[in-house]
Structure 1
Amino acid sequence: MNEYGEEWFYGTSDQAGVFEWFIPCHVKGGGGEAIFAEDKDRQQFLDLLAELITRYQAICYAYCLMDNHYHLLLEIPKANLSQI
């Protein structure tokens, strides 16, 4: 649970016992500094994200890229978030 009382990790289990994770991710630059200076930086990030999602079989339901942080809503069927 975060400081706002929200759960950060949501898990579900189907009848076969397969557990899936739905994870909202919020990542900020240090000290509020920009992590995306230009649109090409955002595009490079999205290209890398697409590659990693394909490689690790994740599903990205939503994203939001801000100058100094980003949000992702991911489903991680194999519980391998640390690799992404």
Structure 2
Amino acid sequence: MPRQSRIDAPGALHHIIVRGIERRKIFLDGQDRHNFLDRLGATVEGIETICYTWALIPNHFHLLLRGPASSPSPP
């Protein structure tokens, strides 16, 4: 059962953990990890989020992220 949503305040620090189902690998090789980091970098830049650190393990990863200091304005 997934956890309930946590409170998300502007500028909050978040520890993100993603695990493979049944401890299966989510990164197959070095190229796969580099591809993930490229996409992660583009994503955090696009949403004005800071990624302080990451750990990529074959069957899971950890991210330490801080979102923008203010909430985006509605369109």
Same fold by TM-score greater than 0.5 = yes
User: Structure 2: which 5+ residue stretches go unaligned?
Assistant: 1-5
Of 16, 21, 33 in structure 2, the residue corresponding to residue 42 of structure 1 is: 33
> Residue type matched to 1:51 in 2?
A
Structure 2 distance, partners of 1:28, 1:79, is: 28
**Runs of 4 or more off by more than 4 Å in structure 1?**
8-11
Shift, 1:20, TM fit: 1.3
Note the C-alpha offset of 1:9.
6.7
Aligned partner of 1:26 in structure 2 is: 17
Q: Does 1:54 align with 2:54?
A: no
Q: TM-score, normalised by structure 1?
A: 0.70
Higher RCO, Cα 8 Å, sep 6+: 2
SS at 2:15's partner residue? Answer: strand
Q: Which residue of 2 aligns with 1:64?
A: 55
Deviation at 1:56?
Answer: 0.3
> Helix, strand or coil: the match of 1:26?
strand
**What's the TM-score once normalised by structure 2's chain length?**
0.78
Deviation at 1:10, TM superposition (A): 8.3
RMSD: 2.1
Give the Cα separation in 1 of the matches to 2:66 and 2:19: 20
Instruction: Tell me by how many angstroms 1:21 deviates.
Output: 1.1
Identical amino acids, percent of aligned pairs: 32
Q: Write 1 or 2 for the structure with the bigger share of strand.
A: 1
